[in-house]
C-alpha cells in the first residue's frame, strides 16, 4: 500500500521539478529559448521524462501557467484576509497585492509574459488564459459587488481594474526605477475609490 503512495508522490515531485525548470528557462532565455531539451537540462532529467509527465511542451506550459496563477491567487487571498472585514479595504488589498515582491519577481514576470504571448498561438495556453483571467475577474467582481457596484457595471469595472493593475504591474516589472510599488498601490486605490459609490 505504501509503494503506490510513494510513486504518486515521486510523480508529483517530478512534475513540480519540471514546472520550476520551465519557469527558470523562461527567465533565462525567454520564450524563444524554450524547448523540451532545455527544460529537461534545467531540471537535470532526460527529455523523455517531460513526455512521460506532460502531453507535450504546450501542456507543460499550460500547467506552469496554472501553477503560477495559483501562487498569485494565494497571495491575493491572503491580502484580503489580512485586510479584515471592510469591503473597500479588501478590494484594494486584492488589487494591490500584485505589487508585492513575490508577484513582481523577475522569473515569474518572464514566465507570465511568455504565457501571454503563447496564448495567441497555443490552444491549451489560450484555454488556460481564459480560465485564469475569468477566475481573477470573478474575484474582482465579487469584491466590487461587496462595495456596492451595481450588477450592470460589474463586468466593465472589473475589466478596467484588471487592466490598470496589469499595466502598472507590467511597467513596474520592466523598470522599477520609474515608480515604486507604493506609488502603484496609491494609483490603484485612487482610481478604485473614484469608481465606488
The confidence score (pLDDT) of residue 154 equals 96
Query: What is the band of 1 on the pLDDT scale with cuts at 50, 70, 90?
Result: very low
3-state secondary structure 125-186: HHHHHHHHHHHHHHHHHHHHHHCCCCHHHHHHHHHHHHHHHHHHHHHHHHCCCCCCHHHHHH
Domain that holds residue 133: 58-195
The confidence score (pLDDT) of residue 54 equals 92
Query: Hey, what's the cell of 26?
Result: 523562461
Query: Are 47 and 125 found together in one domain?
Result: no
Query: Are 143 and 183 found together in one domain?
Result: yes
In the predicted model, is pLDDT for residue 169 greater than 60?
Answer: yes
pTM beyond 0.85, yes or no = yes
CATH code for the domain in which residue 94 is found: 1.10.357.10
In the predicted model, is pLDDT for residue 57 greater than 60?
Answer: yes
Handedness of CA 149, 97, 174, 183 (dihedral sign): positive
Query: Hey, what's the cell of 66?
Result: 496554472
Query: What is the band of 12 on the pLDDT scale with cuts at 50, 70, 90?
Result: confident
Query: Are 81 and 22 found together in one domain?
Result: no
Q: pLDDT per residue over 66-113, tens digit each?
A: 999 999 999 999 999 999 999 999 999 999 999 999 999 988 999 999
Question: How high is the mean pLDDT of the chain?
Answer: 92
Counted domains in the chain: 2
Give the C-alpha separation, 175 to 131, whole Å: 29
Query: Are 159 and 73 found together in one domain?
Result: yes
Query: Hey, what's the cell of 48?
Result: 523523455
Query: Are 47 and 87 found together in one domain?
Result: no
Other Cβ atoms closer than 10 A to 84: 9
CATH code for the domain in which residue 21 is found: 1.10.10
Mean pLDDT of 146-159: 96
Percentage of the chain lying above the pLDDT 90 cut: 84
Give the C-alpha separation, 122 to 59, whole Å: 10
Kindly report the CA angle at 14 between 11 and 17, in degrees rounded to 5?
A: 155
Give the C-alpha separation, 191 to 48, whole Å: 50
Query: Are 35 and 80 found together in one domain?
Result: no
Max avg pLDDT among 10-19, 37-46, 92-101, 110-119: 92-101
Give the C-alpha separation, 149 to 196, whole Å: 6
Query: Are 39 and 72 found together in one domain?
Result: no
Other Cβ atoms closer than 10 A to 89: 16
The confidence score (pLDDT) of residue 75 equals 97
Query: Are 24 and 77 found together in one domain?
Result: no
Give the C-alpha separation, 53 to 67, whole Å: 15
Amino acid at each position: 500500500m505504501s509503494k503506490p503512495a510513494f510513486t504518486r508522490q515521486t510523480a508529483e515531485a517530478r512534475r513540480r521539478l519540471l514546472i520550476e525548470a520551465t519557469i527558470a528557462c523562461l527567465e533565462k532565455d525567454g520564450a524563444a529559448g524554450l524547448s523540451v531539451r532545455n527544460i529537461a537540462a534545467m531540471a537535470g532529467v532526460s527529455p523523455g521524462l517531460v513526455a512521460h509527465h506532460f502531453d507535450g511542451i504546450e501542456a507543460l506550459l499550460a500547467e506552469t501557467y496554472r501553477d503560477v496563477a495559483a501562487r498569485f491567487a494565494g497571495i491575493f487571498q491572503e491580502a484580503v484576509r489580512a485586510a479584515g472585514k471592510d469591503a473597500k479595504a479588501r478590494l484594494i488589498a486584492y488589487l494591490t497585492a500584485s505589487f508585492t515582491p513575490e508577484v513582481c519577481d523577475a522569473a515569474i514576470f518572464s514566465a507570465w509574459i511568455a504565457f501571454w504571448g503563447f496564448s495567441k498561438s497555443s490552444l491549451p495556453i489560450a484555454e488556460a488564459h481564459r480560465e485564469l483571467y475569468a477566475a481573477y475577474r470573478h474575484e474582482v467582481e465579487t469584491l466590487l459587488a461587496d462595495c456596492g457596484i451595481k450588477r450592470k457595471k460589474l463586468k466593465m469595472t472589473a475589466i478596467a481594474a484588471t487592466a490598470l493593475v496589469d499595466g502598472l504591474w507590467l511597467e513596474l516589472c520592466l523598470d522599477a526605477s520609474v515608480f515604486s510599488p507604493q506609488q502603484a498601490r496609491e494609483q490603484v486605490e485612487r482610481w478604485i475609490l473614484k469608481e465606488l459609490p
